[in-house]
Structure 1
């Protein structure tokens, strides 16, 4: 299961944008809010239950710490990418998603081997792989729209800027029980992970630009 710019299952992508402004009103029952789209706690729990059910069928799978936050990070970042595409009048087709799934099945050797890799290395349910596939296709489309070769060494930094702009425009908040949306990049994650919460759920704060080096 190999892919450019990657480490964990060679599926890793570049870092995500900074924590942006949150609403001053309460978000009861929300695990996260992306713009005007709520990811409810019950939705997150259903994804977690699907992962655990799949893991229970895999005798070699072991649940890792932070699985719940890992799932929420995928749901949040996938929404940001979808909205960034929509802003440009683009979207990811079902055919493109199926093509990605077929490519990974070929790389792993079979559909069954792919499902095992999804559970053991991405820590999501196989039923959630299309979300990741859409995210991955969306990354490439956004980079291409920006005139950046997705396989180039500049792709990671360029994708970060795209996500930062879109996320700051939308406004992203995460219930602090799960962490916070972060600028931290890690080569061991297949998508930008959540970081420890640094501010209250109800407090409005200005967007923080990513650190430069």
Structure 2
């Protein structure tokens, strides 16, 4: 698989059907979905990202039945989006520590090349939305992260699939002291990945149950 696509898979949401999560009881992280390096990723910020994807899906699939299918296929969107938002900061810290930076020109060059491959700007945006759950307005941000990952791997003399690359991310995760709101799971430092957890005050509900109680 092409390195760019591998990196897109690394940094973008995993498309998979799963139950929704709702919280019950006291919230150990009021208003925060995660804290990374002492900075909060608020629930509002997370919801904004998720709503961007949903709005793009709605615009791309005006048929109600097809839209419901798209939602069903991305049932873990909130958790996957939070994973990516945290991983963005972890990767940025790892790149900073390695002296890696990405210019606006490099992003544009990468985007132009991908647009040529896919058949234009709109086609590229549609592909990233469908395959990776990236809203059009976040495409350039995602490309920046891909470039950071590639350049970080190069600076380490490795690639994004090798342990040395992930070790650098693990070290960055430790420095940032990543802390997730329990409703979204926990952060595995060694794997730089979000992990689902079971807590006594969190229950899983299906999409059907949510609609019935709405």
Q: Same fold (TM over 0.5)?
A: yes
Deviates more, 1:89-98 or 1:134-143: 89-98
- 1:120 corresponds to which residue? 130
CA distance in 1, matches of 2:123, 2:5: 19
Q: Larger relative contact order (C-alpha < 8 A, sep ≥ 6)?
A: 1
CA distance in 1, matches of 2:145, 2:51: 21
C-alpha contact 1:71 1:124 (8 A) present in aligned 2: no
In the alignment, is residue 68 of structure 1 matched against residue 78 of structure 2? yes
Aligned to 2:170, which of 128, 147, 164?
164
Structure 1 length normalisation: TM-score?
Answer: 0.72
Shift of 1:47: 0.8
Shift of 1:33: 1.2
Other structure's SS at 1:90 match: coil
CA RMSD of superposed structures (Å)? 2.8
Question: Structure 1 residues 93 and 106, CA, compared in 2 at 3 Å: closer, same or farther?
Answer: same
CA distance in 1, matches of 2:4, 2:102: 21
Shift of 1:183: 6.7
Structure 2 length normalisation: TM-score?
Answer: 0.71
Structure 1: any 5+ residue segments left out of the alignment?
15-25, 186-191, 201-213
State the structure with more CA Rg: 2
Question: Structure 1 residues 184 and 100, CA, compared in 2 at 3 Å: closer, same or farther?
Answer: farther
- 2:210 corresponds to which residue? none
The structure where helix makes up a greater share of residues is 2
CA distance in 1, matches of 2:105, 2:5: 24
Structure 2: any 5+ residue segments left out of the alignment?
12-27, 201-214
Question: Structure 1 residues 119 and 5, CA, compared in 2 at 3 Å: closer, same or farther?
Answer: closer
In the alignment, is residue 32 of structure 1 matched against residue 34 of structure 2? yes
Question: Structure 1 residues 50 and 13, CA, compared in 2 at 3 Å: closer, same or farther?
Answer: closer
The structure where strand makes up a greater share of residues is 2
Shift of 1:4: 2.6
Shift of 1:53: 0.8
Deviations along 1:116-160, one digit per CA (max 9) or x if unpaired, are 112111112111122221211111121122122x38xxx432211
CA distance in 2, matches of 1:182, 1:199: 17
- 2:195 corresponds to which residue? 195
CA distance in 2, matches of 1:31, 1:110: 35
CA distance in 1, matches of 2:96, 2:197: 29
